[in-house]
Chains A and B, each alone.
Chain A
Amino acid sequence: IHPRDKDSRWEGIEMERFADEADVVIVGGGPAGLSAAIRLKQLANEQEKELRVCLVEKAPQIGAHTLSGACLEPSALFELFPDWKERGASISIYVMTPKHQDTSPLNHGNYIVRLGNLVRWLGEQAEELGVELYPGYAAAEVLFHEDGSVKGIATNDVGIAKDGSPKDVFERGMELHAKVTLFGEGCHGHLAKQLYKQFNLRENCEPQTYAIGLKELWMIDEKKWRPGRTEHSVGWPLDRHTYGGSFLYHLNEGEPLVALGFVIGLDYSNPYLSPFREFQRWKHHPFIASTLEGGQRIAYGARALNEGGYQSIPKLTFPGGLLIGCSPGFMNVPKIKGTHTAMKSGMLAAEAIFPKVTAESLDSETAGLHVPEYSESLKSSSVWKELYAVRNIRPSFHNYFGLYGGMVYTGIFYWMLRGKEPWTLKHKGIDANQLKPAKDCKPIEYPKPDGKISFDLLSSVALSGTNHEGDQPPHLTLKDDSIPVARNLAIYDGPEQRFCPAGVYEYVPMETGDGMRLQINAQNCVHCKTCDIKDPSQNINWVVPEGGGGPAYNGM
Chain B
Amino acid sequence: MPGRVLVGVKRVIDYAVKIRVKPDNSGVVTDGVKHSMNPFCEIAVEEAVKLKEKKLIKEVVAVSCGPQQSQETIRTALAMGADRGIHVEVSGKDYENLGPLQVSKILAALAKKEEAQLIILGKQAIDDDCNQTGQMTAALLDWPQGTFASEVSLEENQIKVVREIDGGLETIRINTPAVLTADLRLNTPRYATLPNIMKAKKKKIANVKPADLGVDLTSRLEVLRVDEPPQREAGMKVETVEDLVGKLKDAGKV
Chain A residues packing against B (C-beta within 8 Å): 18, 20, 56, 60-61, 63-64, 116-117, 120, 134, 137, 155, 158-159, 167-169, 171, 173-174, 219, 255, 298, 462-463, 465-467, 552, 554-555
Tell me if B14 and A465 are in contact (CB < 8 A). yes
Q: A18-B195, A219-B23, A465-B17 are in contact. Are A168 and B188 (CB under 8 A)?
A: yes
3 smallest A-B Cβ distances: which pairs? A467-B16, A552-B34, A465-B17
Tell me if A158 and B33 are in contact (CB < 8 A). no
Q: In the complex, which residues of chain B have a beta carbon less than 8 angstroms from the beta carbon of A554? A: 31-34
Tell me if B194 and A117 are in contact (CB < 8 A). no
Report B192 CB to chain A, min CB distance, Å.
Answer: 8
Give A379 to B36 CA distance when docked, in angstroms.
Answer: 43
Q: B18 contacts the other chain (Cβ, under 8 Å)?
A: yes
Q: B215 contacts the other chain (Cβ, under 8 Å)?
A: no
Give A168 to B187 CA distance when docked, in angstroms.
Answer: 11
Tell me if A159 and B16 are in contact (CB < 8 A). no
Q: B185 contacts the other chain (Cβ, under 8 Å)?
A: no
Tell me if B34 and A61 are in contact (CB < 8 A). yes
Give A465 to B34 CA distance when docked, in angstroms.
Answer: 9
Q: B95 contacts the other chain (Cβ, under 8 Å)?
A: no
Give A18 to B193 CA distance when docked, in angstroms.
Answer: 11
Q: In the complex, which residues of chain A have a beta carbon less than 8 angstroms from the beta carbon of B191? A: 158-159, 169, 171
Tell me if B194 and A555 are in contact (CB < 8 A). no
6 contacts between A and B (CB under 8 A): A60-B14, A159-B191, A171-B190, A174-B194, A174-B195, A465-B14
A523 to B, closest residue via Cβ? B16
Give A134 to B17 CA distance when docked, in angstroms.
Answer: 21
Give A117 to B33 CA distance when docked, in angstroms.
Answer: 11
Give A68 to B195 CA distance when docked, in angstroms.
Answer: 32
Q: In the complex, which residues of chain B have a beta carbon less than 8 angstroms from the beta carbon of A158? A: 191, 193
Q: In the complex, which residues of chain A have a beta carbon less than 8 angstroms from the beta carbon of B32? A: 63, 116-117, 120, 554-555
Proximity string of chain B (1-37) to chain A, C-beta cutoff 8 Å, 1 when within and 0 when not: 0000000000000111110100100000001111010
Q: In the complex, which residues of chain B have a beta carbon less than 8 angstroms from the beta carbon of A173? A: 193-194
A176 to B, closest residue via Cβ? B194
Tell me if B195 and A20 are in contact (CB < 8 A). yes
Tell me if B16 and A255 are in contact (CB < 8 A). no
Q: In the complex, which residues of chain B have a beta carbon less than 8 angstroms from the beta carbon of A169? A: 188-191
Proximity string of chain B (175-187) to chain A, C-beta cutoff 8 Å, 1 when within and 0 when not: 0000000000000
Report A21 CB to chain B, min CB distance, Å.
Answer: 12
Q: In the complex, which residues of chain B have a beta carbon less than 8 angstroms from the beta carbon of A171? A: 190-191, 193
Tell me if A60 and B34 are in contact (CB < 8 A). yes
Q: A60-B36, A554-B34, A555-B32 are in contact. Are A465 and B18 (CB under 8 A)?
A: yes
Q: Which of B14, B20, B195, B197 contacts A552 (CB 8 A)?
A: B14
Q: B198 contacts the other chain (Cβ, under 8 Å)?
A: yes
Give A555 to B34 CA distance when docked, in angstroms.
Answer: 11
Q: A465-B34, A554-B32 are in contact. Are A174 and B193 (CB under 8 A)?
A: yes
The total of Cβ contacts below 8 Å across the A-B interface reads 59
User: How many chain B residues have a CB neighbour from A under 8 Å?
Assistant: 21
A459 to B, closest residue via Cβ? B18
Q: A462-B18, A465-B18, A552-B14 are in contact. Are A64 and B193 (CB under 8 A)?
A: no
Q: In the complex, which residues of chain A have a beta carbon less than 8 angstroms from the beta carbon of B195? A: 18, 20, 174
Q: In the complex, which residues of chain A have a beta carbon less than 8 angstroms from the beta carbon of B190? A: 169, 171
Chain B residues packing against A (C-beta within 8 Å): 14-18, 20, 23, 31-34, 36, 188-191, 193-195, 197-198
A59 to B, closest residue via Cβ? B34
A463 to B, closest residue via Cβ? B18
Q: Which of A134, A462, A554 has the most CB of B within 10 A?
A: A554
Report B233 CB to chain A, min CB distance, Å.
Answer: 13
Give A64 to B16 CA distance when docked, in angstroms.
Answer: 13
Q: Which of B17, B32, B33, B36 has the most CB of A within 10 A?
A: B32
Q: In the complex, which residues of chain A have a beta carbon less than 8 angstroms from the beta carbon of B16? A: 465-467, 552
Q: In the complex, which residues of chain A have a beta carbon less than 8 angstroms from the beta carbon of B197? A: 134, 137
B199 to A, closest residue via Cβ? A18
Q: In the complex, which residues of chain B have a beta carbon less than 8 angstroms from the beta carbon of A120? A: 32
Give A173 to B195 CA distance when docked, in angstroms.
Answer: 9
Give A554 to B13 CA distance when docked, in angstroms.
Answer: 12
Q: In the complex, which residues of chain B have a beta carbon less than 8 angstroms from the beta carbon of A117? A: 32
Report B103 CB to chain A, min CB distance, Å.
Answer: 24
A117 to B, closest residue via Cβ? B32
A137 to B, closest residue via Cβ? B194
Tell me if B20 and A134 are in contact (CB < 8 A). no
Q: In the complex, which residues of chain B have a beta carbon less than 8 angstroms from the beta carbon of A255? A: 23
**Known contacts A174-B193, A467-B16; can you find 4 more A-B pairs with CB under 8 A?**
A171-B193, A173-B193, A174-B194, A554-B34
Q: In the complex, which residues of chain B have a beta carbon less than 8 angstroms from the beta carbon of A555? A: 32
Q: In the complex, which residues of chain A have a beta carbon less than 8 angstroms from the beta carbon of B23? A: 219, 255
Give A306 to B246 CA distance when docked, in angstroms.
Answer: 61
Give A455 to B88 CA distance when docked, in angstroms.
Answer: 44
Give A554 to B19 CA distance when docked, in angstroms.
Answer: 12
Q: In the complex, which residues of chain A have a beta carbon less than 8 angstroms from the beta carbon of B31? A: 554
Give A244 to B169 CA distance when docked, in angstroms.
Answer: 60
Q: In the complex, which residues of chain A have a beta carbon less than 8 angstroms from the beta carbon of B20? A: 298
Q: In the complex, which residues of chain A have a beta carbon less than 8 angstroms from the beta carbon of B198? A: 20
Q: A462-B18, A463-B18 are in contact. Are A134 and B36 (CB under 8 A)?
A: no
Give A408 to B33 CA distance when docked, in angstroms.
Answer: 45
Report B29 CB to chain A, min CB distance, Å.
Answer: 8
Q: Which of A159, A167, A168, A552 has the most CB of B within 10 A?
A: A552
A555 to B, closest residue via Cβ? B32
Report B112 CB to chain A, min CB distance, Å.
Answer: 35
A298 to B, closest residue via Cβ? B20
Report A221 CB to chain B, min CB distance, Å.
Answer: 12
B191 to A, closest residue via Cβ? A158
Q: In the complex, which residues of chain B have a beta carbon less than 8 angstroms from the beta carbon of A168? A: 188
Give A116 to B33 CA distance when docked, in angstroms.
Answer: 11
Report B150 CB to chain A, min CB distance, Å.
Answer: 17
A170 to B, closest residue via Cβ? B191
Q: In the complex, which residues of chain B have a beta carbon less than 8 angstroms from the beta carbon of A462? A: 18
Give A64 to B14 CA distance when docked, in angstroms.
Answer: 12
Give A171 to B193 CA distance when docked, in angstroms.
Answer: 8
Tell me if A134 and B34 are in contact (CB < 8 A). no
Q: In the complex, which residues of chain A have a beta carbon less than 8 angstroms from the beta carbon of B18? A: 462-463, 465
Give A20 to B193 CA distance when docked, in angstroms.
Answer: 13
Give A18 to B199 CA distance when docked, in angstroms.
Answer: 12
A300 to B, closest residue via Cβ? B18
Give A552 to B188 CA distance when docked, in angstroms.
Answer: 24
Report A525 CB to chain B, min CB distance, Å.
Answer: 13
Q: Which of A63, A116, A155, A552 contacts B17 (CB 8 A)?
A: A552
Give A64 to B190 CA distance when docked, in angstroms.
Answer: 23
Report A114 CB to chain B, min CB distance, Å.
Answer: 9
Give A219 to B188 CA distance when docked, in angstroms.
Answer: 40
Q: In the complex, which residues of chain B have a beta carbon less than 8 angstroms from the beta carbon of A467? A: 14-16
Q: In the complex, which residues of chain B have a beta carbon less than 8 angstroms from the beta carbon of A134? A: 194, 197
Report A151 CB to chain B, min CB distance, Å.
Answer: 17
Report B190 CB to chain A, min CB distance, Å.
Answer: 5
Q: In the complex, which residues of chain B have a beta carbon less than 8 angstroms from the beta carbon of A174? A: 193-195
Tell me if B194 and A155 are in contact (CB < 8 A). yes
